[in-house]
Structure 1
Amino acid sequence: MVGKLTEIQIDELLERQIVGRIGCSINNKIYVVPISYAYEGNSIYAHTYEGMKIDAMRANPEVCFEVDDYGDMANWQSVIAWGRYEEITDPADRVAAIQILLHRNLPMRSSETTHIGKHWPFYADNETIDGIVFRIVITEKNGRYESYSNSAKISG
């Protein structure tokens, strides 16, 4: 069965995942890049450094955000959200946004390939935070799913 996610299911998927993809545009080129994020209060929060993604969002703050959860090719959920990029520059607001990211990302399970190590960009007690903290204020979102209980499983 293929269908549309409810508003509650859309929010649950956005809250459950920690990696999504931002789609932005600069110089008539579409740029899609994965980011770690936290979802709270109808906004996507993230931290990054200067680069093509920031250049694109500063030039054209209207962006798209995608997140998905795949069990297999016949069992998946996907959310697409549209919104506006906002750089968070006020020191108190930056710390608050970092706290949102920390509370969402630090509890995650570590593995050999995915873990918070020496390159994690900030600690809970940071007063000064390098890089760029931003949010995408969501203006529209929708979600789809596919679900088949009898789908073939690929063993590997």
Structure 2
Amino acid sequence: MIAMRKPHKQITDQARIEAILDQAPVLRLAMCRDGQPYVTPLNFGRLGQRLYVHTGRQGLKIDFIAANPRVCFEVTSLAEPAPGPTPCQWDWRYRSVIGFGRAVVVDDPAEKQAGLAAIVAHYDPEARPDFPPEKMALALVLRIEVESLTAKANLA
């Protein structure tokens, strides 16, 4: 884990970190190519220590990842203002995770299907998705191989 500026807000318990990942509605994926940053919000799913996202076969994400597979991502499972008596006394309640890793195009059909199922399950754990072959052929699934995570919360 990377040292945090406010260590009293850091979460180190793996179960709590996974809960934040599992509760977060959106993953923001940051990439860089030739010194130009790019960030995009994505639906995602988790299988163990791997995260999965899907996208089309062409586009800016694919161009950036082809040039540089190193990524950073962020998820937030709670985000709300905590008003104070004056603007300078306001705070923010949140739980978040930031991670670094590599984005890899999933070629194996079984892993591709498992990754898509993880994305569906993230939003509807009761769903039993059926992915027709023609849809599977169109989808591109990326696996994010997580190399490091930091998590923090401010619930005051």
Instruction: Give the one of 53, 71, 94 matched to 2:61.
Output: 53
Structure 1-normalised TM-score?
Answer: 0.78
State the identity %: 28
- Any idea what the Cα deviations from partners look like across 1:15-65, whole Å, max 9, x if unmatched? 111311001001210101100101221111111112111111121111001
Root-mean-square deviation (Å): 2.0
Partner Cα separation in structure 1 for residue 18 and residue 114 of structure 2: 21
Going by fraction, where is helix more abundant, 1 or 2? 2
Instruction: Report the CA distance between 1:79 and its aligned residue.
Output: 0.7
**For the Cα contact (< 8 Å) 1:5–1:143, is it kept in 2?**
yes
- Any idea what the Cα deviations from partners look like across 1:76-131, whole Å, max 9, x if unmatched? 111101111110112222122222222222359xxxxxxxxxxxxxx624223112
What's 1:111 paired with?
none
| Runs of 4+ deviating beyond 6 Å | none
Uncovered stretches (5+) of structure 1, i.e. residues with no partner: 109-122, 149-156
Q: Is 2:13 the counterpart of 1:24?
A: no
- Any idea what the Cα deviations from partners look like across 1:123-151, whole Å, max 9, x if unmatched? 62422311211110101000111121xxx
What's 2:87 paired with?
none
Name the aligned partner's letter for residue 96 of structure 2. Answer: S
Instruction: Report the CA distance between 1:8 and its aligned residue.
Output: 2.1
**For the Cα contact (< 8 Å) 1:15–1:40, is it kept in 2?**
no
Figure out how many residues of one structure are paired with residues of the other and give that number.
Answer: 134
Partner Cα separation in structure 2 for residue 100 and residue 83 of structure 1: 19
